[in-house]
């Protein structure tokens, strides 16, 4: 494996060396299912799907964990009152959004993940981790809430680049005068009305950051890669790293990867601007593979400005590929890797190596188009390229849908077919030429 990744923690591209040669643990922050998923979510999960596929095709066993944050104020504020049978009410509320999310990722051809933990199913582990942090002097009880003491963890701020001294002196907006430090954050949010979940400190609910730490800890204490959107770097990932390492006493993740923002016509998506594009709406109106192709034409760690025009252009480029590749035999993953190692087509090796270089899918796609003539001319080349693009990039190819034909065009085609059956080749050729002039090229089958 020659994988190189941009490690957010070191601010550098590094050779990826997993804890175990043939096994990788990957955790990617999932959605908060209080509404339908948008195309920014899709970009994040397509990116990590390529990473998943790249490792898998090389024989690596990937334990991929992606959570649902199903305890959040945006959810709790929307479920029916009073808060009895709260977990059942949450499940009822979030299910349509989780179903929609799964349906979108399936259309985008994202592989299933290994574990999908939910916060509602992790409450005992959360309480246990909070108690560990209190016992180890990293957290303190304030009324019925519990806060993480950032001063107790000297490494705080090193992931995001927010200096600890700035947070200790009050640069944070969210200030509670009773907290030890302005930057201290809630691990457990007490509720004076005795609702939500019972804990040693009273009723309440977990803080946002502790949720991911416990969901990771439920499956493994140290990850090879922790990923997510760039918007999560601070405070979420900074806080998650601090409390996990302080509580479990080991490194949370060896590599951190962040997918940059998907902008709408160069502006950040937001409900206030009315420019949020839902995944389900885009995929209902467009070819999901065209959308995936557009995402892969750009580096994941650079901002991408999305527009309908760009998606249409990507769709046309993907249609060219599909037309050239959909008939080509699809090799198994093992057979593709044998072909890759054999170097039958050097440009495929270079494309594969580009993906290993920090998921440079844009370069890989460019190399394919640079060698398009050779691919179309060789059945073997088209088979290897289709296998690369399907197994590694996750692009599915299928027989193109026949265009809608007008009654006049259908009549000409029927007339020509009859001429062929009658062996009237002059008339058949004349009708074929007429159809070509109208923009239709026929592929004849044996009579």
- 78-115 pLDDT tens trace: 999 887 899 999 999 999 999 999 999 999 999 999 99
3-state secondary structure string across 30-52: CCCCCCCCEHHHHHHHHHHHHHH
Q: What is the DSSP letter of 329?
A: P
Peptide bond into 299 cis (omega under 30): no
Strand 197-199 relative to strand 202-206: parallel, antiparallel, unpaired?
antiparallel
Q: Judge contact between 110 and 394, C-beta under 8 A.
A: yes
Which phi and psi angles does 375 have, rounded to 5°?
-65, -45
Q: Judge contact between 213 and 122, C-beta under 8 A.
A: no
What pLDDT does residue 171 have?
44
Helix or strand run (H / E) with residue 65: strand 61-66
What pLDDT does residue 447 have?
67
Sorted by sequence, the CB contacts under 8 Å of residue 127 that are 6+ apart come out as 188, 199, 200
Q: Judge contact between 109 and 395, C-beta under 8 A.
A: yes
What pLDDT does residue 227 have?
98
What pLDDT does residue 173 have?
42
Long-range CB contacts (within 8 A, 24+) of 363-369: 364/393, 365/293, 365/296, 365/297, 365/393, 368/321, 369/317
Q: Judge contact between 53 and 392, C-beta under 8 A.
A: yes
Residue 235, CB-side half-sphere exposure with 13 Å CA sphere: 18
- Ramachandran region of residue 230, left (φ > 0), alpha (ψ -120 to 50) or beta? alpha
Helical spans, DSSP H, in 258-378: 279-285, 288-296, 308-325, 333-342, 346-356, 361-370, 372-377
- Rounded to whole angstroms, the Cα distance separating 60 from 55 reads 5
- Rounded to whole angstroms, the Cα distance separating 293 from 120 reads 35
- Rounded to whole angstroms, the Cα distance separating 214 from 122 reads 7
Closest CA to 6 of 166, 230, 280: 230
Alpha carbon 258 to its chain's center: 11
Q: Judge contact between 184 and 209, C-beta under 8 A.
A: no
- Rounded to whole angstroms, the Cα distance separating 1 from 34 reads 39
- Rounded to whole angstroms, the Cα distance separating 243 from 186 reads 11
Q: Judge contact between 60 and 17, C-beta under 8 A.
A: no
Query: Which tokens belong to 89?
Result: 């009410």
Peptide bond into 235 cis (omega under 30): yes
pTM: 0.90
Which phi and psi angles does 208 have, rounded to 5°?
-60, -50
Residues of the chain with pLDDT under 50: 171-175
Helix or strand run (H / E) with residue 409: helix 407-421
For residue 205, what are the β-bridge partners? Answer: 189
- 276-292 pLDDT tens trace: 999 999 999 999 999 99
What pLDDT does residue 403 have?
66
Sorted by sequence, the CB contacts under 8 Å of residue 102 that are 6+ apart come out as none
């Amino acid at each position: 494996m020659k994988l190189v990744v941009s490690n957010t923690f070191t601010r550098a591209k590094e050779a990826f060396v997993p804890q175990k040669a043939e096994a990788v643990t990957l955790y990617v922050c999932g959605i908060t299912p209080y509404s339908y998923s948008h195309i920014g979510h899709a970009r994040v999960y397509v990116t990590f799907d390529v990473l998943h596929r790249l490792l898998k095709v090389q024989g690596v066993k990937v334990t991929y964990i992606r959570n649902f944050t199903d305890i959040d104020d945006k959810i709790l504020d929307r479920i029916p009152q009073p808060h009895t049978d709260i977990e059942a009410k949450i499940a009822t509320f979030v299910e349509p959004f989780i179903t929609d999310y799964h349906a979108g990722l399936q259309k985008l051809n994202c592989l299933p993940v290994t574990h999908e933990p939910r916060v509602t199913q992790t409450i005992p582990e959360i309480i246990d981790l909070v108690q560990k942090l209190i016992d180890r002097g990293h957290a303190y009880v304030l009324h019925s809430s519990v806060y993480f003491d950032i001063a107790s963890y000297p490494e705080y701020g090193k992931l995001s680049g927010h200096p600890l001294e700035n947070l200790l002196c009050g640069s944070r907006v969210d200030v509670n005068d009773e907290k030890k430090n302005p930057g201290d954050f809630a691990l457990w949010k007490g509720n004076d009305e005795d609702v939500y979940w019972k804990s040693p400190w009273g009723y309440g609910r977990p803080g946002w950051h502790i949720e991911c730490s416990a969901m990771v800890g439920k499956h493994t204490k140290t990850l090879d890669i922790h990923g997510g959107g760039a918007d999560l770097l601070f405070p979420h990932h900074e806080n998650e790293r601090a409390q996990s390492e302080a509580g479990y006493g080991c490194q949370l993740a060896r590599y951190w990867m962040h997918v940059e923002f998907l902008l709408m016509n160069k502006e950040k998506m937001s409900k206030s601007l009315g420019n949020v594009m839902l995944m389900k709406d885009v995929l209902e109106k467009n070819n999901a593979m065209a959308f995936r192709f557009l995402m892969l034409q750009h580096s994941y760690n650079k901002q991408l400005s999305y527009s309908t025009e760009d998606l249409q252009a990507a769709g046309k480029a993907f249609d060219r590929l599909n037309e050239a590749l959909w008939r080509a035999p699809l090799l198994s993953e093992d057979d593709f890797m044998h072909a890759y190692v054999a170097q039958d087509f050097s440009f495929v090796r270079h494309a594969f190596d580009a993906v290993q270089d920090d998921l440079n899918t844009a370069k890989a796609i460019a190399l394919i188009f640079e060698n398009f003539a050779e691919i179309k001319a060789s059945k073997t080349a088209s088979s290897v390229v289709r296998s690369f693009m399907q197994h590694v990039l996750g692009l599915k190819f299928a027989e193109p849908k026949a265009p809608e034909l007008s009654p006049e065009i259908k009549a000409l085609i029927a007339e020509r077919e009859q001429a062929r059956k009658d062996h009237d080749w002059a008339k058949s050729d004349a009708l074929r030429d007429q159809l070509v002039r109208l923009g239709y090229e026929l592929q004849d089958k044996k009579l």
